[in-house]
Chain A
């Protein structure tokens, strides 16, 4: 057993930190401060993605045939952790969950055209799972793909298609067999957003993160856009979700915020002799956040290590998702308590702390307890796969 980063990995961390200091230019920073570019998609964002791609960072653990470096999943995790610490809206769902699925199960075209370009930072995906009437019960989805002589004809509507407003493709779950039981008739497609049959309308959220309703009106895709076998899409969805769940709860951003709030509290004078961090209840909040981060870090490391051996365990992926998402909410609350009323100020005054990052992060955290598979379903999975209890009804 060895539970720490090795020298090479620590070096990689430092190297990446320096790399991002140079990559994240003032121009990029100011672009990311504009509400329409909070999640990325602007010209500076695109430029940075391509630079990361051509510098070989996006696919550290990917196979060489796709342009990767074949390092371990741990190096890949360190990369994502470090980029997320900077606040750059890295499209990790594309690179960490959809990309690997396409690389493994895609057609020759998809492997050559799509997987390699994801690695180069040239392509972004939105994920088309939920529908107006299919959320937690995802397998009831109704978007159709009908077989035609030279491919498939797609019709339907998806909800919460985040990043669709600047995505190149949608990773789309469709129904292809209408007779089979729900989850046995689903297939996955790569659907281009520049098709005339594709449209969307914006959904603005409490976190000031834009998401979308997306519409698919007689979109024709060739056979090569099918990923995996026909009607075998459900296993791709669950594998993708396992990868997504780990990526969602990366411990980097919350630890970065913890460190920054600690520094701020240590330098915030509350009277002539005391700083904020001298108050005992403030110390308690820091200790609670720290001990929570330690567990999260270890859960993520263990998951990453398990991934390396190729046997991602369902119960453990769900543990990461439930624990991480609920911990974020608690951690942001405890950190906001420390800074008190200052932490509700937005980014437009000289009183604002930490560039209002705390204020924004708490607002974007709430989606994680239901996004990526609601925590109730995760707990069902834990009880079933982890404790071998009977299936809940």
Chain B
């Protein structure tokens, strides 16, 4: 048993903290409130410093396959509300390919991701409750796939070279990389102004070579993608809720009413303490899930537990933080509001807490 971070992990955290706090100043973030939320300069800075290779094998130019390292990156991106949406690229594409693609494709694509090239994924479908069973279909004709369907909440798709798409076919579930210019993209406007897209495929023809995994392993690969995405996004949630909690502690330690600092009222400090407890739980379940994923254990339940805690923490801490800040919490000149909106996206993407409680309940009562 060892809950301590390794030296290199503490270093990753410290230097990311430095880069991001410099780069994600209130002024810089403001600039992205009304435009396409993708900070190219920050991305190339991260790339130059090797942070896009976290969690990837050294042979592709990465810094080693530890998913906890990658978790630190997402936690920090969340903590600083960085204008970068990278889970499609660094998690869905890079991690799934590392596990399921041949070395040649990995060498090509993973090293270009590390160098700052954008890829993304399109997995979720409107009103499909079960992402493991895509409604998007591929018809197999000789060595070609003909794909039709609609995906959404695909990140930064307009600047992605290719999009990893999940489909159902006569050979079962497949994960395929489709060039972005073959699909129809519509930008969606979401609550936190995240760069999300609807992706429509209307009889898109691509080569069978675009399938990223060996024959027969599509479902396994998709399940892995979903699990790891849940866990890494829960690290974003961790960063967001950590920041909100520290804003609460700071604000209520300075704001005075009735001649005293409001943090000295138990009603206030106890609500803050509850945020701290929630946060500690989320941190621990995330750590467990990422470490078990490292060890190749079947982590579906671990991932669901992470997502359930993330969904609840995002909701509870966001509203506690807004409440304890009073009017400041909604004032767009202060920092909190962005985190609250991001928290709502984090809470709902990959399924709400209630939906995942349902999934977990099914697993617990039938798999044993």
Contacts and interface: CB of A to CB of B under 8 A. Distances in A.
Contacts, number: 156
A378 B5 CA distance: 27
Interface in A288-306: 288, 290-291, 294-295, 298-299, 301-302, 304-306
Interface stretch (A214-222, A242-250, A279-287): A279-287
Given A277-B365, A288-B357, A379-B269, A3 B287 contact: yes
A84 interface: no
Contact of A287 (B281, B291, B357): B357
A145 interface: no
A392 B262 CA distance: 9
B1 A3 contact: yes
A383 interface: yes
Interface residues of B, number: 49
A3 B3 contact: yes
A378 B273 CA distance: 9
A181 B43 CA distance: 58
A72 to B, nearest CB: 8
Contact of A323 (B265, B281, B287): B281
Contacts of B357: 284, 287-288, 291
A319 interface: yes
A389 B288 contact: no
Judged by DSSP, the binding face of A is helix
Interface string B335-357: 00000000000000000000001
B365 A316 contact: no
Contacts of A298: 281, 284-285, 287-288
A285 B360 CA distance: 10
Contacts of A305: 1-3
B252 interface: yes
B264 A388 contact: no
Contact of B245 (A280, A376, A387): A387
B6 A383 contact: no
B263 A382 contact: no
Given A287-B358, A323-B277, A383-B273, A391 B284 contact: no
Contacts of B285: 291, 294-295, 298
Contacts of B362: 283
B294 to A, nearest CB: 9
| Chain A interface residue number, banded | 35 or more
B273 A387 contact: yes
A359 B6 CA distance: 45
A205 B348 CA distance: 45
Interface string B241-273: 000011011001100000011011110011011
A287 B361 contact: yes
Contacts of A391: 264
Contacts of B291: 1-4
Contacts of A280: 358, 361
A319 B361 contact: no
B305 A282 contact: no
Interface string B79-95: 00000000000000000
B365 A389 contact: no
Given A1-B6, A2-B2, A387 B272 contact: yes
Given A6-B1, A294-B305, A315-B276, 17 more contacts: A1-B6, A3-B2, A4-B292, A266-B365, A282-B365, A284-B357, A298-B284, A299-B281, A302-B3, A306-B3, A378-B273, A383-B263, A386-B273, A388-B253, A389-B252, A389-B272, A390-B264
Interface of B: 1-6, 9, 68, 245-246, 248-249, 252-253, 260-261, 263-266, 269-270, 272-274, 276-277, 280-281, 284-285, 287-288, 291-292, 301-302, 304-305, 308-309, 357-358, 360-362, 364-365, 368
10 contacts: A1-B4, A1-B5, A3-B291, A283-B365, A302-B284, A304-B1, A376-B266, A387-B273, A389-B249, A392-B269
